[in-house]
Structure 1
Amino acid sequence: MGMTGTTVADLVHAQWDDHRPGLRCEDRVLTHHQVAAGAAARAALLVDLLPPGAEPHVGVLLDNTPEYPLWLSAAALAGAAVAGINPTRRGAELARDILHTECRLLLTERTHLPLLDGLELPGVRILVTDSEEYEQLLAPYANAAPGDAALAPPDPSRRMLLYFTSGSTGAPKAAICSQGRLAAAGRSLVEHFGVGRDDVHYVCMPMFHGNAVIADWSPALAAGAAVALRRRFSASGFLDDVRAYGATYFTYVGRAVQYILATPERPDDRDNPLRLGFGTEAGAVDAARFAERFGVRLVEGYGSSEGGAAVQRTPDTPPGAIGRATPGDDLAVVDPATGEECPAACLDEAGRLLNGADAIGELVNRGRSPFEGYWRNPEADAARVRGGWYWTGDLFFRDPKGFLYFAGRSDDRLRVDSENLAAAMIENILARYEPAAAVAVYAVPDPVAGDQVMATLALGDAPFDPGDFGRFLAAQGDLGPKMLPRFVRPVRRMPVTATNKVHRVALRRAGFRCPDPVWWRPDTEVSYEPLTPAAESALLDRYREQGREELLGRL
């Protein structure tokens, strides 16, 4: 049974009289009451330290330590907003994120202090959470209670989060999430998944990212469930953590599930308390492997990071589909070039898409959107909301019954020989290649026009066998001839971002001129050979002849 508060502050207040364990991290355990008390102390400190007239924003540059959820709760009580700062950013980019969100206070820890060396951060006060000075600052507020100090009365429309969403180009945008939207998201997941007070939410994804806060921490708070933290995601430590904490629920993004599956199997893998994993981009093949190995159901969901559209899985959702639009949403799959709705997908008996060029389009919310905008970025707002519609930037197709299938990001569309292809569709096929722990498909420019398909395969310590891979491709009945990778880059481990998503920008930028050996098909046959220095030189000459060499290395 979840809480009924309309703001995150209401949910924090509700913890005050609860003396059950509420927050676990390594050897540290705090009760729900201690979490609420710690949040109240930090809220009072925040109110006193924030300069008059400053935006009520506090930057948090921390790993997943107890201080992170404590400051989220503190911001809610104070009527302030947390800007999650990504510790993988460096130099001027890191400074830009802090200054763009107008943070006058920055919470960090000693391990991250080197990141701040030499940065120009005028007007920003830095608090180091694992320092004696910090403890001394907090001490006078030890007896604070929720509601004792606030910059403004918390209400549903009050800013709560500023979380950066990355694109393929340009600086990350800081999406706004209000207290009301965050509390509503938590309550919705509680209802949808039956999360209860006895659940333990394992937060192993980084908390500067929306997934961990919106889909993991928020429903735990709404349900009165406990939270268990992992400082940084570890595939090898995943199962041990789950058992040690008694975790029943976790969220994931990107390739985290693949990394867990790549760990050595144990006879007792199914002996664990987990009942549910919720996230994105695991893929149907890996979800089935995870359920078979660990006895845990993975539910693939979709929610635009900015909150503009959501797809809800129902019991009758077919394999491979995400679900249907949530009640009240008017979602459509639209051709962005014409603004017209795409035709329904034609699927064969095996669920393979037969008319991808026509059926795949951008998912658009034509109804009322909960999108709350980006911080100080009207250009990005205008690009996201056009003609009164919210454009997600994500590719989907819809079957005749209205079920929606994710087909990649709009910037992951390839145009090969005048045919539009979705990288995610090709990835889903290549994911069947058993030696590959992970697959990424992306475009490299064609020497004459359009794109060519390049694939990176994460093979661990196994060597790439071009003959075996060619035979695999030839056996895939739904792999059209234009989908065949022209270039293949075998790697030991897939390069990923801080949120465990494939680092597509780096892959596209490197293309076939990368530090790893590359194999390619010089002609139309499904036969791969090494891209030797001589072959690469001749290929680059073709780009120069067509005046397209400058396109190589594009973002």
Structure 2
Amino acid sequence: MSQDNVSALDIARSLPGIFRRLPAITRGLYYYALKNENRELTLGTLIESNARNLGSRPAILFEDRSITWSELDGWANRIARYLQDQGLAKGDAIAISLENRPELLAVVAGAAKLGVACAMLNTSQRGKVLEHSINLIEPKMMVVGEELVEAFDGIKTDLKTAHPQPFQFLADTNTLNAFGDAPTGYANMAEQVSTFNSDAPDLSDAPKMGDTAIYLFTSGTTGLPKAAPGSHRKFIMAYGGFGLMSLAMKPEDVLYCTLPLYHGTALLVCWGSVLAGGSAIVLRRKFSASAFWDDVRYYHATTFGYVGELCRYLLNQPPSEQDRNHSLTKMIGNGLRPSIWKEFKQRFGIETVAELYASSEGNIGFSNFFNMDNTVGFSTAPYKLVKFHDGTRDPVRNEKGFMQEVAKGEPGLLIGEITKKWSFEGYTQKEATEKSILRNAFKKGDAWFNTGDVLKEIGCGHLQFVDRMGDTYRWKGENVSTTEVENIIDGSGMVEEAIVYGVEIPGTNGKAGMVTLVPHSNGREFDVNSLFAYLRDNLPAYAVPVFVRITHAIEKTGTFKYRKVDIQKLGYSLRDGEEVYAWLPGTDGYTLLSPELVSEIDSGGVRF
């Protein structure tokens, strides 16, 4: 069998490990399969349970701070009481703009106890994109960290809010001991919270498993970010499916998380796994390849949360005698490429790779439960892999209007059937939700969620990720909407037309953003670095196109559609009459590409 196949023999070899995990698996199945949305089992009750049973054990480790489960629960109760005092109640929402630090988890936990949902703002967003994300939710309050006040101040006057004190400030310090000074226009949240007691709040209408706990923002497939609601049930499923079934987490486990907590992989998967074990989560604001293993050793981490790009960065570090001098044996996340999977495990001594596939809004998930190589695992949800039109996320329909499954082993568009059991929570915008639903796919009246991703089966019901399709690409572990970037570019007033897409760079994960544009013919010379400055002001860094192609016209079809596939195939190659620029690592602007520089990029000599 090739290294990309999973056989029955491979499954059989994994059974001894499965048997050792059987008690955790049995518990995990119970929580994963719970469907009673009216049950009072929520993120808040999970924390309360750990506080009762494991109160003195660490729940959060951050820099030199250690917060126990009892301390976290008491902190969350004070926050809940403060929000309650401010008039917030079940069904309301607040927005959170904080970097990875304990305050973020405490606020989410406190809000969860009331049934108040937290909109997890992407800390890279700026300007119009940030304003749009917040106004999608219309939160009663916005909790802003000192580290992000500057970005927030630029949009405060454009936000919709009706609360008398909507802007809450948290100093960039240990706010359990020091409150700092709140800027003008902000309430000092930590100072106010400290005045409340740490008993659980009194509630007349307690939150239920089916209530919304969080909003995660996704680029989706078109347009500006969409807000995907996540119920408490998603935490319960992660608790059972990942924390117990995949990782068998225990109180002595420590999970090292450098992924941003506004991502579902960090907040739901990593924290949900930690909740299941009564384990500790180590937070770091941002990933550092050079500091990674020192941190792992310092905190005695046993597990870490990853995306594929992070693993590639670690492999790119010079080999060291210390590569296996650590306690890390498990990892959970997504995007680990088959090309580096075994090399990563062997070099660093990793035993369990709990690769998964899921999306913030989707109704389908896969988990590498049997710890096979090069697979996202299998799913108990109903799904199909169907034929699709190249360069789009649109399925092919036959003469009867129905979709067609691909042959076994062939790449296909993944779609998940929407049923009562496998519901689709979708987005806050009904039209965006409807666009993600494929109707009458195999019979009249059926409905399926379109993931927009291409996967293939590699044996025994196990799938392998192939690529993202259509109007979204993935770069630096983030999904980027081409339409969102195009709209921002259009707003610059510098271009007549622009088309954005992802291109592959050898030696990197995902696809780097590229724009082909026609400058505005307004009599002024086009300045590519004026465009760069505009993009940096209005987009997260990962969404700023890495390459820019300047041309005189963009070819279209007879029906005035861009020939996106043909343009994408060109990549960043040079051709007569056009200029191609690149945002090179360590620079603060675009650099004109030469044949020599293109060759250096192609050979992996430029580390993006």
CA contact (8 A) 2:221 2:452 kept: no
Give 2:405's aligned residue. Answer: 342
- The share of aligned pairs that are identical, in percent, is 26
Deviation at 1:295, TM superposition (A): 0.6
Deviation at 1:321, TM superposition (A): 3.0
Task: Report matched runs for 1:84-95 at 5 Å.
Answer: 84-95=120-131
Deviation at 1:282, TM superposition (A): 1.7
CA contact (8 A) 1:364 1:391 kept: yes
Paired residue for 1:13, among 48, 70, 94?
48
1:231-270 deviation per Cα after TM superposition (whole angstroms, max 9, x unaligned):
1222222111111111111111241111122223221110
CA contact (8 A) 2:115 2:213 kept: yes
Distance 2:301 2:219 in 1: 30
1:346-378 deviation per Cα after TM superposition (whole angstroms, max 9, x unaligned):
5xxxxxxxxx5xx42333336542322212x00
Deviation at 1:401, TM superposition (A): 4.3
Question: Mean Cα displacement is larger for which, 186-195 or 24-33?
Answer: 186-195
Paired residue for 1:306, among 336, 354, 361?
361
Deviation at 1:208, TM superposition (A): 0.8
Give 1:551's aligned residue. Answer: none
Query: Is 1:166 aligned to 2:219, yes or no?
Result: yes
Deviation at 1:223, TM superposition (A): 1.9
Give 1:64's aligned residue. Answer: 100
Distance 2:374 2:404 in 1: 22
Distance 1:161 1:301, change over 3 A: same
Distance 1:341 1:321, change over 3 A: farther
Query: Is 1:330 aligned to 2:382, yes or no?
Result: yes
Distance 2:147 2:541 in 1: 25
Question: Secondary structure at the residue paired with 1:14?
Answer: helix
Distance 1:316 1:71, change over 3 A: closer
Query: Is 1:22 aligned to 2:59, yes or no?
Result: yes
Distance 1:330 1:383 in 2: 20
Task: Report matched runs for 1:531-542 at 5 Å.
Answer: 531=574, 534=577
Distance 1:370 1:240, change over 3 A: farther
Distance 1:371 1:166 in 2: 17
Distance 1:19 1:217 in 2: 18
Distance 1:155 1:202, change over 3 A: same
Distance 1:504 1:60, change over 3 A: closer
Deviation at 1:458, TM superposition (A): 5.3
Question: Secondary structure at the residue paired with 2:505?
Answer: strand
Query: Is 1:383 aligned to 2:435, yes or no?
Result: yes
CA contact (8 A) 1:363 1:395 kept: no
Distance 1:50 1:98, change over 3 A: farther
Give 2:467's aligned residue. Answer: 408
Higher relative contact order (CA 8 A, sep 6+): 2
Distance 1:330 1:452 in 2: 31
Deviation at 1:83, TM superposition (A): 0.6
Give 2:505's aligned residue. Answer: 456
Distance 1:100 1:207 in 2: 20
Query: Is 1:269 aligned to 2:269, yes or no?
Result: no
> Runs ≥4 in structure 1, deviation > 6 angstroms?
2-5
What 5-or-longer segments of structure 1 have no aligned partner? 347-355, 414-422, 428-436, 444-450, 460-496, 514-527, 538-555
Distance 1:305 1:135, change over 3 A: closer
CA contact (8 A) 1:6 1:184 kept: no
Task: Report matched runs for 1:356-435 at 5 Å.
Answer: 356=410, 359-365=411-417, 367=419, 368-375=421-428, 377-387=429-439, 388-399=447-458, 401-411=460-470
Question: Secondary structure at the residue paired with 1:234?
Answer: coil
TM-score after normalising by structure 2: 0.65
Distance 1:70 1:529 in 2: 45
Question: Secondary structure at the residue paired with 1:239?
Answer: helix
Question: Mean Cα displacement is larger for which, 205-214 or 194-203?
Answer: 194-203
Task: Report matched runs for 1:238-249 at 5 Å.
Answer: 238-249=292-303
Distance 1:145 1:274 in 2: 36
Distance 1:502 1:261 in 2: 23
Question: Secondary structure at the residue paired with 1:15?
Answer: helix
Deviation at 1:139, TM superposition (A): 2.0
Distance 1:110 1:454 in 2: 36
Question: Mean Cα displacement is larger for which, 267-276 or 7-16?
Answer: 7-16
1:361-409 deviation per Cα after TM superposition (whole angstroms, max 9, x unaligned):
333336542322212x001111222322222221122246433221211
Deviation at 1:203, TM superposition (A): 1.7
Deviation at 1:292, TM superposition (A): 1.8
Deviation at 1:505, TM superposition (A): 7.5
Distance 1:61 1:529 in 2: 35
CA contact (8 A) 2:95 2:141 kept: yes
1:170-196 deviation per Cα after TM superposition (whole angstroms, max 9, x unaligned):
111111111122122212212222111
Distance 1:76 1:233, change over 3 A: same
Give 1:128's aligned residue. Answer: 169
Distance 1:47 1:343 in 2: 53
1:60-112 deviation per Cα after TM superposition (whole angstroms, max 9, x unaligned):
10011110111121121111111101121111221221121111211122121
Distance 2:367 2:106 in 1: 30
Deviation at 1:118, TM superposition (A): 3.0
Question: Secondary structure at the residue paired with 2:51?
Answer: coil
CA contact (8 A) 1:365 1:391 kept: no
Deviation at 1:293, TM superposition (A): 1.7
Distance 1:22 1:88, change over 3 A: same
Distance 1:29 1:529 in 2: 48
Q: CA RMSD in A?
A: 3.6
Q: What is the total number of aligned residue pairs between the two structures?
A: 438
What 5-or-longer segments of structure 2 have no aligned partner? 1-23, 32-39, 172-178, 181-187, 388-394, 440-446, 483-499, 509-535, 552-570, 581-608
What amino acid is the match of 2:297?
R
1:433-456 deviation per Cα after TM superposition (whole angstroms, max 9, x unaligned):
xxxx99x9x99xxxxxxx999532
Distance 2:204 2:550 in 1: 54
Give 1:417's aligned residue. Answer: none
Task: Report matched runs for 1:453-492 at 5 Å.
Answer: 454-457=503-506
Distance 1:210 1:400, change over 3 A: closer
What amino acid is the match of 2:42?
T
